[in-house]
Amino acid sequence: MKVGLIGLGRMGKGMGQRLLGGGHDLLVFNRSAGKAADLEKAGARSVSTLADVCSGRDIVITMVSDDAALNEVALGSGGIRQSLAQGGVHVAMGTHSAAAIQSLASAHAAAGQTLVAAPVLGRPDAAAAGQLVIVAGGPADAVKRCEPAFQVMGRKTAEAGPKPESAIAIKLANNFVLACAIEAMAEGFALVRKYGVQPQVFYEVITEGLFAAPAYKVYGKLMVDQAYDNPGFTAALGLKDVKLALAAGELAKVPLPSGSVVRDRLIGAIAHGDTDKDWSVLAREQGRACGLD
């Protein structure tokens, strides 16, 4: 199918390669020049305006970093809303706020277009390998139209329901549960350390039983090794995600007290200079809170 792709960061590049590999006709656009070279080699055409990247497309995918970038490419002058044909589908695949997605869905609807929110679970390596889990929310026929693209980008599509923000809720809730798991482990490590336990022993006990899953194995290991300096995901990004979940909670009137705890500890970590450390640094922050470290 004819696909436009906006946002050629590490995730977007991998997704673009998968689309090309799947035989799709791909136009790409990035605000920063020079990011399209690899995709061009693989068969994409790079264009220099948002209008061009929407031209003649069945769907236009955005994979941008935040709400501001999304609103700029979608609602700004010459943006997707102005450039995409009536009946076209904008597939927003970044992690955005529920509020921004709701507003954008209305804006597209008013222009005779449809917004599908399709945030993904998985990191750049999963994107490159077509192993993302895609959580898709939007009108059923619009989601169906995206399937050929989803099939080559992901290993699975979860259907969230007819509202785009439903997909956002799932993605944010997933990250929220992860943040809470990291915080709980951080507290658990502090507790056992104060009782003279080697962290590795606690790690092995939990991760071979109830918690034999990546959330605990990956982040627990970082805590055992105190390996916070090469972040997979920083404390600053963690705070951003937790705040998105809390904001989604507020919008839908859901108190999230566990999330407030994580938010407070992340702010504490940042106050102590760990802004750019891996967010498993919550274990160090918890250590500070009880006089360890």
Is residue 273 a contact point for its own copies (CB under 8 A)? yes
Between residues 34 and 196, which has the closer beta carbon with respect to its own copies? 196
Is residue 106 a contact point for its own copies (CB under 8 A)? no
C-alpha to C-alpha distance for 280 and 274, rounded to whole angstroms: 10
C-alpha to C-alpha distance for 145 and 166, rounded to whole angstroms: 18
For the chain, the first-to-last Cα distance in angstroms comes to 56
Is residue 226 a contact point for its own copies (CB under 8 A)? no
Question: 171 an active-site residue?
Answer: yes
Strand 25-29 vs strand 45-46: parallel, antiparallel, or unpaired?
Answer: parallel
| Number of other residues whose CB lies within 10 A of the CB of residue 282 | 29
> Could you tell me the smallest distance in angstroms from the CB atom of residue 126 to its own copies?
10
Catalytic hit among 2, 13, 156, 171: 171
| Number of other residues whose CB lies within 10 A of the CB of residue 230 | 8
Task: State the binding string over 242-271 for its own copies (x if CB under 8 A, else -).
Answer: ---x--xxx-xxxxxxxxxx-xxx-xx-xx
C-alpha to C-alpha distance for 63 and 15, rounded to whole angstroms: 9
C-alpha to C-alpha distance for 88 and 109, rounded to whole angstroms: 10
Amino acid occupying residue 8: L
> Which one of the spans 3-11, 36-44, 62-70, 189-197 is the region binding its own copies (CB under 8 A)?
189-197
> Could you tell me the smallest distance in angstroms from the CB atom of residue 234 to its own copies?
15
Between residues 37 and 205, which has the closer beta carbon with respect to its own copies? 205
| Cβ atoms of 181 and 215 closer than 8 Å | yes
C-alpha to C-alpha distance for 202 and 194, rounded to whole angstroms: 12
Between residues 208 and 225, which has the closer beta carbon with respect to its own copies? 208
Residues 121-180 that bind its own copies (CB under 8 A): 121, 133, 135, 156, 158-163, 165-166, 168-170, 172-174, 176-178, 180
Is residue 236 a contact point for its own copies (CB under 8 A)? no
Between residues 35 and 217, which has the closer beta carbon with respect to its own copies? 217
- Known catalytic residues are 171
